[in-house]
Chain A
Amino acid sequence: MILAPMILVQSFLAPGALALAAVHAADSVPADPSAQKLRADALVLQAAEVHVGDGTVFKPGLVILLDGKVVAAGQSLPLPAGANVIDCGNAVITPGLVDAACQLGTSALFGSAEQGSEVIPQLDMWDALDLYSKDFERLVADGVTTVFITGEASSVISAKGTAVKTGGPIGERRVAVKPIVKATLGPESSQRGAGNRSPSRFGGVNYTARRPTTRMGSAWVFRKAFHDAIAFRDAGKPSNDGLEPDAMRALADVLAGKTALRMQVREALDFYTSVKLADEFGLSFTYEYATEAAQCIDLLVARKLPVIFGPVRTTDSTFEQFEAAQPALDTARLLAEKGVPFCLTASDASGEGGLPRQAGVAIRNGLDRARALRAVTSDPAAMVGLEGRVGRLAPGLDADLVVWNGMPFDDTAKPVLVLIHGRPVLDLQGKFRKENS
C-alpha cells in the first residue's frame, strides 16, 4: 500500500469540502473472476468523477494502476482481489497536466540563453536543465506532471526542447521525445539578449555583438541560417556566419521534416513574417505563445497552423516587458470555435499564473470545460508527440494523475494528490515526496 489510509482520511476531511467515504480493501467490492489476472499490488482509485482527458468522463469512476501504468479507467471495472482501493470520495481525478511549451527548470543563474550564436539548433535543452530546481515542485503543486521544456527566446533559432516528468526518481525523469527546434520572431530574439550593439564599439565581432536589433534582423538571421544549411547540405559549403556544421545539420533535419519546428510569435505582424519565412523554405510549424492569435484567426484557419497558446498575463508572469499586450482573454474559445488545433501553456509561470489558472481563465472567458481539460492534457501531449505516453488515463499510458479537491480549474480547487508513474509526488499533506529520487 503506497498511501497510508489514515493520511487520506485526515487530509481529505480537513478542508471540509470533501467527504471521503472510506478506504477499504477490495474484498468488499463484488469480485469478478476475470479480475483475478490482475495482480494484488494494483492500486485502484475511486472518485466522484474520473476524467480520462479525451472528453470521456466516468461519474463515479475508478482508475486501476499497475507497475506505473494505467491498466484501465471506467465506471465499474473488475477489480483484482486484495488490491488497494482508495476511495477519494467527492474528489475528481484527471490525467496529470502537460505543458507543451514550458520555460521553467533551467538554471536560475545562467538560464539557457546562448550568447555565442543566434543559431543553436544543435544544442539540447536537456543540458541546461536543473532537475533539482524548485520550479518542478511548483509544477507538481499545479498538477503538471509532464513538461516539454522549450528553447529560450533570446536566440533566433534556439535549442532543441526536451521533455521531462516533473517528479519521481531523477533517473526516470527524462521522456524520449521527437526533436523540436524553436525559432523566435519579434522583439524577444532581437532585443532580449545582452549587448545587441555595434561590434565596432567592442573592437570587433564578439559574444556581446549579437546580430539582430530589429525584427528585420531576426528575420534575416532565420533566412540566412537556413540558406547556409542548404548550401552545407548540398555542397558542403561552410557558413560564413560561423555556424557550426552541427548547427547546419540540425537545420537540414528541420528542412527534411525529421525535426519539428516551433515559431514563437506574439504580435500579429510577426505571424505574417513567420508564414513568409516558412513558405520560403517549405516548412510546416507550430506556433508558440501566439499572443495575438485572435487578430490572426483567419490566417490560422486557412493555414491549419497549430497553436500552443498562452499565457494570459497574470501578476506572476514576466513577459510584460515586451511589446505584446495582454492577449484577448477569449482567444482559447475563439481557437476552439474556429477549429484551430490548440493547447494551452503557462510558459514560465506557475502558481497563480500556472496551467490550471490558464485553463480557468479560458473557462471564465467561454471555453468549454471539457475542451479546457483536453487543452492541458491530451492536446499538449499530442503536440509533442507523446499522445501514446501521457495526457490520458488510458490503458498502457503512464500512471500520471491528479486528484482535485473540487472541479478542476475552479478558483477554489487545487490538486491534493499527484501521482507520477503511480507514485505520489505530491502527497495528501501537501508535501513533495522526494524519497523516490
Chain B
Amino acid sequence: MVLSSLLAASLLAATTALGDSAAVRGGTILQPDGTRIEKGIVVIEDGKVTAVGGPETPIPAAATVLEADGKVVFPGMILAHTQVGLDIPNENMPIAPFVNVYDSIEPNSAEYEECLRTGITTVHAIQGNNTVIGGLSRIIRPQGDMVEYMTVRPDYALKISITPRNGFNRMTQLAELRRAFADLKAHVDAVAERRYEEEQKKKEEKVLVLPDEAAKQGLAHVTIDDLDARWRTLWRASKGEIPLFVHCDRAMDVSNGIAWLREAKLLEKAVFVVGTEAHKAAGALKQAGRPVILSGALVHKETDPLTGKESEVFVPKVFADAGLPFVLQPNGFAFNADGLLWYQAARCVREGVARDVALKSVTQWAADAIGMGDTLGSIAPGKWGNVAILSGDPLDQATVVEKLLLEGRLAYDRATDRRLKELATGQELAAPSAEAAPTAAPAAPAAPAAPATEPPAAPPAGGGSGSGK
C-alpha cells in the first residue's frame, strides 16, 4: 500500500489546487421524499453541496453555472450491491475473506460508463452470492483511470451467504460458516498464547499459566499484523468492525441468518441481500431493523405443489406495505432494455408502491444501506455534489440523463457521449482520427482514495462522456 499512499498524497495536492465550485440553476429539484423546488438552485463547492433553494439562492461569483431550465435535478442514484466491473462474481473457494475486489475492479469497464449514462454516481462493488464468506468490497465512483482514484470507501464490507452455494445444502453452508469462525478463533488463540509467552519473556517475574489462560491474557497484545494474512479481515469482521452483506435467498435463510448473526453478535453490522421468496420473512426482517436489498427480479413466482396453481407476488409491494425500507437493484444491467435502475422504481409505482418509496429505494435508502446516508442519497447542504440533470421525471420512460455531476464536477454530458449514438442506433461511428483521438483523461486531476469521513475527493475532471477510454 506504500505506492498507493504516495499516489494519493501526490494527487490530493492536485485536487486541492483544482478546487471548484458549480451551480445548477433553473431546474426542478426533486428530492427522493417527493419534495420539489421549482426553478431551484443547487450550489456545490469543493465537491459538497453548500446551498439548495429557490431562484433567490445566491450563486458564488466563481461558480460555473449549469443551466437546467425545464430539467429535473435529482440526486445521483446508487448501486448498493453489484458486481458490475468485476471479472467474475465469486472465486472458486468457499471461505475467501482475504480477497479484495480491489484486485478485480476494471476501471475501463463499459459497465461503469453505462452507470454514468443512467444516472448512477456511486457503486458498491461486492462479491457475488455464490460463496460462504466472500472478500472485501469497495464503494467507488463509476469513473476514474485507476481503482485508487475511483475509491470512495476502500475495504468496506464482507459478503456472507446463508443460502448454500451451488451444489451444497444448507447444513453444509452453515457448518462451513461456523467452522470458519471457529478456525479463526483457534488461530487467534494460538497467536495470543504465543504473544503471552513473548510478553512473559520480557518480564523478570514470569508467570506460567495454562494455555487457555495464556490465550485469554495474550489477546490484549495481539495486533492485526500478528495474524496470518488469511485471517485478518475475518478477525476484524468478528469484532464488528466491518459491515456484513448477508445473502438470504429464501425466507428460511433469513431466519437462519438472523439466528447466526445474533449468535455471532453481528446483527448490528448486517445488511440483508434477499431473494424474492424472502418477502415471506418481511416481518422478521422488519424486526431485525437492518437494511434490505432486493434482488433484480422483483416478481416472486410460485407453483403450489398440490394444486399446481401458479401465483405471482410483486415483492417490493410487500415490503412497502410492511413499512420496511428496501433498496432496489437493476434486473440484469443497463445493456438490457429493461435493465435500468430507475425502471425498477417505475415498476414499483406501476404495481402500487408509493412514489416517494420507489424514489428512496434507489437513492436515500441505498445510501443508508452502504452507511453513507449522511453523505449521499439526496441533494442537501453538507452532502456530496452528486447530481443528475434529467430531461424529465426519473420515472418517465423517455427521460435521459443529460448531465451528471460527480462531486461537483461534470462527469457525463449526453451531448458529447460518443458511444451513445452507437448503442442507440447500432451505427458504428468512425474511429477518431489519430490526432484528435481522445485519450483517457490525464491522471493529474484525479481523486485520492479518501475515506468517507473526510471532505469528498473530487473525481477526475474532464472525463467528458466517460467514454474517452
Contact = CB atoms under 8 A, between A and B. Distances in A.
Nearest to A356: B350
B425 A330 contact: yes
Contact of A357 (B299, B332, B338, B395): B338
Given A314-B338, A329-B425, 17 more contacts: A15-B352, A17-B349, A312-B337, A313-B337, A314-B337, A315-B331, A315-B332, A316-B338, A326-B335, A327-B426, A330-B424, A352-B347, A361-B338, A363-B398, A406-B350, A409-B397, A411-B396
Nearest to B308: A134
A410 interface: yes
Contacts of B336: 313-315, 326
Interface string B417-445: 00000011111000000000000000000
Contact of A14 (B352, B397, B424): B352
A397 to B, nearest CB: 28
21 contacts: A16-B354, A134-B310, A295-B426, A313-B336, A313-B337, A314-B336, A315-B296, A315-B331, A316-B338, A326-B337, A328-B424, A329-B426, A331-B426, A352-B331, A353-B338, A363-B398, A406-B350, A411-B347, A411-B396, A413-B350, A414-B351
Contact of A412 (B331, B346, B424): B346
B425 A315 contact: no
A329 B398 contact: no
A351 B301 CA distance: 12
A360 interface: yes
Interface string B295-324: 010010000000000100000000000000
A352 B299 CA distance: 10
A294 interface: yes
Contacts of B398: 363-364
A20 B332 CA distance: 37
Contact of A363 (B339, B397, B424): B397
Contact of B397 (A15, A360, A414): A360
Contacts of A360: 397
B338 A315 contact: yes
Contact of A365 (B335, B354, B396, B424): B424
Contacts of A16: 352, 354
A138 B426 CA distance: 31
B260 interface: no
A312 B423 CA distance: 13
A139 B441 CA distance: 49
Interface residues of B, number: 27
Contact of B337 (A294, A329, A406, A414): A329
Contacts of A292: 426
Interface in A347-383: 351-353, 357, 360-361, 363-365
B181 interface: no
Contacts of A15: 352
Contacts of A327: 426
Contacts of B102: none
Interface in A367-423: 405-406, 409-414
Interface of A: 14-17, 134, 292, 294-295, 312-316, 326-331, 334, 351-353, 357, 360-361, 363-365, 405-406, 409-414
A412 B423 contact: no
B98 interface: no
A329 B352 contact: no
A365 B205 CA distance: 81
Contacts of A326: 335-337
Interface of chain B, helix or strand or loop or mixed? Answer: loop
Contacts of B350: 405-406, 411-414
Nearest to B348: A412
A43 B207 CA distance: 96
Contacts of A330: 424-425
Nearest to B303: A134
A357 B339 CA distance: 12
A54 B350 CA distance: 26
Contacts of B395: 411-412
A312 B339 CA distance: 12
A388 B63 CA distance: 63
Contacts of A329: 337, 423-426
Contacts of B335: 326
A328 B425 CA distance: 5
A33 B367 CA distance: 64
B337 A361 contact: yes
A62 to B, nearest CB: 25
Contacts of B397: 360-361, 363-364, 409-411
A293 to B, nearest CB: 10
B20 to A, nearest CB: 33
Nearest to B354: A16
B426 A294 contact: yes
Interface string B85-118: 0000000000000000000000000000000000
Interface in B327-343: 331-332, 335-339, 343
B296 A328 contact: no
By CB atoms of chain A within 10 A, which of B351, B396, B397, B425 has the most?
B397
A72 to B, nearest CB: 31
A15 B351 CA distance: 8
Contacts of A14: 352
A335 B457 CA distance: 47
A326 B335 CA distance: 9
A412 B349 CA distance: 5
Nearest to B343: A411
Contacts of A314: 336-338
A369 to B, nearest CB: 9
Contacts of B396: 410-411
A59 B45 CA distance: 48
Nearest to A353: B338
Contacts of B299: 351
A410 B396 CA distance: 7
A195 to B, nearest CB: 29
Nearest to A358: B337
Interface in B258-317: 296, 299, 310
Interface in B193-251: none
A365 B424 CA distance: 7
Nearest to A351: B299
Contacts of A361: 337-338, 397
By CB atoms of chain B within 10 A, which of A330, A334, A405 has the most?
A330
Contacts of A352: 331, 338, 347
Contacts of A411: 343, 346-347, 349-350, 395-397
A291 B64 CA distance: 44
By CB atoms of chain A within 10 A, which of B310, B335, B337, B397 has the most?
B337
Contacts of A328: 424-427
B296 to A, nearest CB: 7
B141 to A, nearest CB: 26
A170 B62 CA distance: 72
B269 to A, nearest CB: 32
Contacts of A17: 349
